[in-house]
Amino acid sequence: PEVKEFLKELPKCEHHLHLEGTLEPDLLFPLAKRNNVALPQGFPQTVEELNEKYKQFDDLQDFLNFYYMGCQVLINECDFYELAWQYFLKVHKQGLKHAELFFDPQSHTERGISVDTVYNGFAKACSKAESELGISSKLIMCILRDCPLQKCQDLVEKEAAHLIKEGKVHGLGLDSAEKPFPPTLFTNIYASAKKLNPELRLTAHAGEEGDHTYVKNSIDFLKVERIDHGVNSVQSDDLLRELSANKTMLTVCPLSNIKLQVFQDLKELPLLKLLEFGVPFSLNSDDPAYFGGYILENYYAVHETFGFDYKIWGDIVINTIKGSWCDENRKTELI
Ligand code: HPA
Ligand code: ZN
């Protein structure tokens, strides 16, 4: 109980959270109804049935199939706003102070929804979270790596170019099915995004189901300064030394890794090896509505498994703050 209070009070930041992954079944069904969206054949009919499905996924793709079906109920700006606002209310109670939030425009533009509808809804929730809850946030737009390359390029260079140029999206990320879509495919798109706005921050999912070369190539070709997941980095000591030397942060997602069967047991999560090599990492919830826990439940799960002392928790949280993409004044406030 005392340690739970301690974990709750820590000034936590989240770096790996997909806003579409916060769609709880108890919001999904009402939105489907409100927007007259017919869910696909065979989709669970009730909150209970859907929660039953979410108990276990076979792998990343099995989860993604449900994630993209869920996205279909999001239509209007107010839907995106409501989704993000519900997230902020939940994590506010868990002691979250700063959030860097992924969103996937292509899961909506494919259905005829404009990038601005999506962005405006999310951005409104972010402003309100800052003024009413004291949570700072940044939006990171992700490319779906399993979409045709030309569409990915159009997203960056056309549909969302204004958001990048004006600094409305703070970072660019890369997500969805990893293994058949190595990072090198996206080298030119990352370069042209950075050209649109040299201040754009860059990250990519890598080393979740792909091996350590996905991590190394994301750094070398995409020029990312952070890696999402990155747990397979531990396959290469050379890579770990490089991550440590350059202070490249891994945004680790413990409960996600269990639900998607990246690991069978949290004990296999390579946090001790990362600590040993001095590789900075943060702990994150990824898609909390699907994976059974928000940021604090991820902290709890790690504590139950590893039993870190106060000193190690302090170091983890300080590294997390330092690795955040907020300005230096905000970092000082948080520490
Ligand atoms: N990995 C890849 N793509 C995703 C994820 C993830 O964990 N969550 C949402 N899209
Ligand atoms: Zn993710």
Q: Residues 89-131: pLDDT tens digits? A: 999 999 999 999 999 999 999 999 999 999 999 999 999 999 9
For β-strands 281-283 and 201-206, DSSP reports them as unpaired
pLDDT of residue 152: 98
16 is in an annotated binding site: yes
Residue 20 Cα: closest atom of ligand 1: 9
303 is in an annotated binding site: no
pLDDT of residue 1: 72
333 is catalytic: no
Q: Which ligand is nearest to the CA of 290?
A: 1
What percent of the chain has pLDDT above 70? 100
205 is in an annotated binding site: yes
- Residue bearing the CA closest to ligand 1, atom 2: 176
Active-site choice (100, 208, 328, 333): 208
In angstroms, the CA 122 to CA 77 distance is 8
Residues 205/228, Cβ–Cβ less than 8 Å: yes
Q: Which ligand is nearest to the CA of 16?
A: 2
Is the pLDDT score of 78 beyond 80? Answer: yes
Mean of pLDDT values over 263-286: 98
Cα(2) to ligand 2 centroid in Å equals: 31
- Please name the residue ranges forming H helices in 93-231: 106-109, 115-128, 149-154, 161-165, 187-196, 212-217
Cα(292) to ligand 1 centroid in Å equals: 15
Residue 21 Cα: closest atom of ligand 1: 9
pLDDT digits (tens, 9 = 90+) for 159-209: 999 999 999 999 999 999 999 999 999 999 999 999 999 999 999 999 999
Q: Which domains does the chain have, with CATH numbers?
A: 2-334 (3.20.20.140)
> Mean of the per-residue pLDDT values for the chain?
98
Cα(146) to ligand 1 centroid in Å equals: 12
Q: Which ligand is nearest to the CA of 19?
A: 1
pTM strictly above 0.95: yes
Cα(313) to ligand 2 centroid in Å equals: 23
Sheet containing 281-283, strands listed edge to edge, beginning at the edge strand earlier in sequence: 12-18, 96-103, 136-144, 171-175, 201-206, 226-229, 249-252, 281-283
Which residue type does 131 have?
S
Q: Best substitution site from 104, 286, 298 to test ligand 1's pocket, by max atoms within 8 Å of Cβ?
A: 286
Ligand 1 residue neighbourhood (C-beta within 6 Å) = 18, 21, 60, 67, 175-176, 205, 208, 256, 286-287
Cβ partners under 8 Å of residue 90, min gap 6:
22, 288, 294
